[in-house]
Structure 1
Amino acid sequence: MVRGNAKIEAQKKAAKKQEQMKSAGSQLDARKAALKFTCPICRTPLTSYATTKAHYESKHPKETVPPQEQFDK
């Protein structure tokens, strides 16, 4: 029964991975910390001023990009 040993090892590996994921914390908290900026026009959450500029160029080309000082608050 060659597969039996491999199955047990796979179960141990999966259990260990699940424990690591539980101790890592919530992904929602990490997402909230990363999304610092919000587009004032469409309320899209953005990660940085550079992504804000790219967002304005692609989604709101007729609008001017707000200065970075406005986002540093």
Structure 2
Amino acid sequence: MLLLVAACGGNDGPSVPTPTPVGSSEGQRLFVTKGCAACHGSMAKGSAIAPGLFEHSANQITPRSVRV
């Protein structure tokens, strides 16, 4: 029963801000200049060596999973 209560806790974590055109264009610039597109593809749909990123939400991407 304790596990059920813990699993239903009310903390959803930090909220994710709504994307803005400026934030989106800056994100695209960083995606290309930091080399992410080289493995994940220019449209972030994935490649033979790296997964696509569209199936991930912002709260699933951790600092440990991002290398710059």
Higher helix residue share: 1
Answer yes or no: same fold by TM over 0.5: no
Report the TM-score, using the length of structure 1 for normalisation. Answer: 0.29
Asked which structure has the greater CA Rg, the reply is 1
TM-score normalised over the length of structure 2: 0.31
